[in-house]
Structure 1
Amino acid sequence: MQEIVQSQPEPGKTRTAEILDVLRDEILEARLVPGEKLRFDELRETYDIGISPLREALMHLASEGLVTTEQRKGYRVAPVSGTDLREIAFLRGEFDAMAIRHSIANGDELWEGRVLAAFHAMQRRKKIGPDGDVDREWERHHIRFHSELVSECRMPKLLSFRTILDLQAQRYRRIAAAHYLNAPRDDVIEHMELRDAVLNRDADLAGQLVRAHYSRTVDIILAGEIAVDPADPAD
């Protein structure tokens, strides 16, 4: 297990919620690497956490697809692969295209205003932060923009599924950060075209654009010099 840099928990959270947030961040940042075995004793010592909240947190992470379970072998950080990444992108594109179509049918002027505000907030930040990594505020606004596009679909189960897929996609982007950030791409134009298609109530075009947007991310990540099919590590 790599050295872990602990995040500060938010006040008022339960111990399970605290450890869940911390472990999720460690996995998304790849400080807990794909395929790494998550040993209870080490985690309990590192985070000064009891068995019950730790087990609950790991079970929740498994439901998000960030952790895998093996009978009698415990938990591991979920592995990564090109096949998995393509499936995530395909499902994100299909779910978002469907949700955008329903949001266009249901959304009013207030929804349009939220889409515009989210786009404006995202464009005020630079994608690459001063440390050369993904700027976390840009990423937060980026997630908010895509979330607002689908926010009026009125299908809570679909929105729950896409949230899980978005977490999994974030991990790939961060693992491949160096190539993802430096590849030639005009994010502004891609998001602007998607914004305009939605505001013009063109569901067919918006669906095409969001599918292409996610597919482009996959192409960039897989074109980089990154090992996305690591061998299964030894215990």
Structure 2
Amino acid sequence: MDSNKTTNATSVPLIDVALSQMKTAIIRCELAPGSRLKVESLSKAYGLSSSPIREALNRLTQDGIVQAAENRGFWVAPISVDDFRDISRIRVLLETEALADSIAYGDEEWETGVLTAFHRLSIVEKKMGSGPVALDDNWSDRHRAFHMALLSATPSGLLGGMVGSLFDRAERYRRYSALHRLTGRNKSNEHEVLMKAAIDRDKEKATRLLRSHIEGTLTRVVEALERQSASVQ
């Protein structure tokens, strides 16, 4: 089958179908960190030929969540504290820049998008129990949408793409740590305070809050990773 052909029902290229399904499975830790990704097995699991599966895996290596080696195939990128520290450091640098851009260039449509995304996130949070929020697919989707809305007015398409990719890499760590967390994370008003600062065009406050938000996640995830590592030694 030609990897560029599309599904009859949706006219979505098969490569994009494979890419979306596998990326979601990796980010949600349904495909465990460090596990082998056998093209034949994935083809059967997703009902696709090997060509779009292989191409999707090659693209996922560019996102940093799949690794590959000649004659050794593909595997889910392992996780480590050092890697997450590096991801978080670059996120701070890029996302604060994208947020500053958005505050400077964002128009009424941007403001409406931010307010709508925050409202949708708030709705799902009110309905949630005490479990880890990162394990709720609906919350995770709306959480990502809120953060991307905040950064969406940057005029740099390259910057926008990079922050999205790094956010997804960080999401995999949030998911993994939530799976091994002893207690649920208490709900906070971090998103609301961040949203208000951005809408008020307070660049200094908004970027400071975003940095604190990312670094807070770093602290919690590292604690969970180190606790998990200690428990298996």
User: Normalized against structure 2, the TM-score is what?
Assistant: 0.84
Structure 2 distance, partners of 1:142, 1:131, is: 17
Structure 1 distance, partners of 2:65, 2:98, is: 24
How big is the shift at 1:47? Answer: 3.3
Q: Per the alignment, do residues 180 and 194 of structure 1 end up closer, same or farther by CA in structure 2, a change over 3 Å counting?
A: farther
- Confirm whether residue 89 of structure 1 aligns to residue 91 of structure 2: no
- What are the residue-to-residue correspondences of 1:12-161 with 2, within 5 Å? 12-126=11-125, 129=128, 132=131, 134-161=135-162
How big is the shift at 1:222? Answer: 1.5
Q: Is the 8 A contact 2:32 2:76 kept in 1?
A: yes
Q: Per the alignment, do residues 110 and 26 of structure 1 end up closer, same or farther by CA in structure 2, a change over 3 Å counting?
A: closer
CA RMSD after TM alignment: 2.5
Once the two structures are superposed, residues 166-200 of structure 1 have per-residue CA deviations (whole angstroms, 9 ceiling, x without a partner) of 1111111111124569355443x211111121122
Q: Percent identity?
A: 32
Higher relative CO (Cα under 8 Å, sequence separation at least 6) belongs to 1
Structure 1 distance, partners of 2:138, 2:126, is: 9
Q: Is the 8 A contact 1:128 1:135 kept in 2?
A: no
Question: Counterpart of 1:176 in 2: which secondary structure?
Answer: helix
How big is the shift at 1:226? Answer: 2.6
Q: Per the alignment, do residues 38 and 13 of structure 1 end up closer, same or farther by CA in structure 2, a change over 3 Å counting?
A: same
Q: Which residue of 1 aligns with 2:228?
A: 226
How big is the shift at 1:213? Answer: 0.3
How big is the shift at 1:63? Answer: 1.1
Quick one: which amino acid aligns to residue 207 of structure 1? T
Aligned residues: 220
Q: Is the 8 A contact 1:118 1:145 kept in 2?
A: yes
Q: Which residue of 2 aligns with 1:5?
A: none
Structure 2 distance, partners of 1:78, 1:33, is: 9
Q: Which residue of 1 aligns with 2:4?
A: none
Structure 1 distance, partners of 2:136, 2:38, is: 31
- Confirm whether residue 208 of structure 1 aligns to residue 208 of structure 2: yes
Structure 2 distance, partners of 1:128, 1:112, is: 25
More helix by share: 2
Q: Which residue of 1 aligns with 2:170?
A: 169
Question: Counterpart of 2:220 in 1: which secondary structure?
Answer: helix
Question: Counterpart of 1:201 in 2: which secondary structure?
Answer: coil
| Structure 2: tracts of 5 or more residues without a match | 1-8
Q: Is the 8 A contact 2:131 2:185 kept in 1?
A: no
User: Normalized against structure 1, the TM-score is what?
Assistant: 0.84
Question: Counterpart of 1:120 in 2: which secondary structure?
Answer: helix
Q: Per the alignment, do residues 171 and 41 of structure 1 end up closer, same or farther by CA in structure 2, a change over 3 Å counting?
A: same
